[in-house]
Amino acid sequence: MPTTRRLDGLDAARGLAVVSMLVAHLSPVGGVLNVSEYVTAPLFAVIIGISMGVRLTERRPAPGTFLLDNAQRGLILVLLGVLLQAIYSQVDVVLPYLGVLIIVLAPLALVLHRAPVLTVGLAAALAVVGPIVVERVREAYPSMVESWPRWSLDLVTWLATGEHYRLVSFLPMALGGVALGTVLRRAVAPPEGYVIGAAMLVLGVVAYALGRGTADGSAAYSGTTAEVVGATFLATATVVASFLVVDRLTGSGAARALGPLLATGRLALTAYTLQILWLALLAALRDNAPDDAWWILGSTLVVVVGLCWGFDRRWGTGPLEWVVHRLRPQPPPAGRHLSGGPGRE
């Protein structure tokens, strides 16, 4: 399967995550749309892991470049997330949590990407240990408030005590993504991809179902072992399905319909920022009224997806993606590479 098509599959999954995020934030009803609450944040975390696994396996960047690149990306997400949270408070902005995840995950991915079985084992162990860590840190948090500086309390929130998101919940999901990323070429190829995707979906549903029968439960954002495991399987099944759909539609007339979704996935950081800015504008015009309304969901989808599609068609990138790319450490000239072909990192 060509590399470009595989990356289109990842862009499609990322675009689905953005659309699911908008539904989770703005839908005025529950029912089947509640699925978005379970899949959105885990899908972002798994995609981060897959991206690192693919890059390390296929591009083989220099370790220092890889770590510095991800440290910069993570820091940018943290700073942008803090700014967006100050602009609009009705949404729990996930960017700082994902930024911390990128910084912490990068050295783990660098060490573990050649050992997917070990990576999955570590992810499983963290899924068990994580809820214990959250409980202990939350118990200690009141005493921290009395003496710790504000920035350190924010860091503790991003690491372990967040109401909706936290590193200790995202890390097992992202490690599962790293493991998938290292074998993605084989995992998403038909017909094996159909079997793998279906198996992951079934395992995710079973994990949620078993978790509901325990005292801890498996509710979305809860960070319980059942929720983390179920979310990881559900997110990876979504990624595999995205690759299979893109592969199926490539070369057909229906492929053009994927354009807006792929563009939104390529420009996910711009998409996230557009969402917050648009909602902040609407809130200012509506005296901070609640944002869960159909017309707000519809208008936000049009603004976010429409502008991302326009940016991608006109310039091939988004404004924030351009900034992040400019800040990334640049690889040495092609003639100085000691291994790999020209242009490889």
In a domain, 332, yes or no: no
pLDDT band at 89 (very low <50, low <70, confident <90, very high): very high
User: DSSP character for 158?
Assistant: I
In a domain, 292, yes or no: no
* 128 or 2, greater pLDDT: 128
Residues 6 or more apart in contact with residue 310 via CB below 8 angstroms: none
Query: Which pLDDT score is estimated for 66?
Result: 94
Work out the number of other CB atoms within 10 angstroms of the CB of residue 244. Answer: 19
In a domain, 320, yes or no: no
pLDDT in tens, 129-145: 999 999 999 999 999 99
Tokens in use for 143?
A: 């005493």
In a domain, 299, yes or no: no
* CA 282 from centroid of its chain's CA atoms: 26
Number of domains into which the chain is organized: 1
In a domain, 199, yes or no: yes
Domain that holds residue 139: 3-257
**Rounded to whole angstroms, how far apart are CA atoms 139 and 4?**
48
In a domain, 211, yes or no: yes
Query: Which pLDDT score is estimated for 344?
Result: 34
Query: Which pLDDT score is estimated for 329?
Result: 62
* pTM given for the model: 0.91
In a domain, 300, yes or no: no
Q: Are 211 and 226 in contact (CB under 8 A)?
A: yes
Q: What is the mean pLDDT of the chain?
A: 90
pLDDT in tens, 10-66: 999 999 999 999 999 999 886 667 889 999 999 999 999 999 999 999 889 999 999
pLDDT in tens, 110-125: 999 999 999 999 999 9
* 60 or 3, greater pLDDT: 60
User: Which region among 96-105, 183-192, 216-225, 332-341 has the lowest average model confidence (pLDDT)?
Assistant: 332-341
- Asked whether the predicted pLDDT for residue 221 surpasses 50, the reply is yes
In a domain, 18, yes or no: yes
Query: Which pLDDT score is estimated for 190?
Result: 84
User: DSSP character for 33?
Assistant: G
pLDDT in tens, 182-205: 888 777 888 889 999 999 999 999
pLDDT band at 330 (very low <50, low <70, confident <90, very high): low
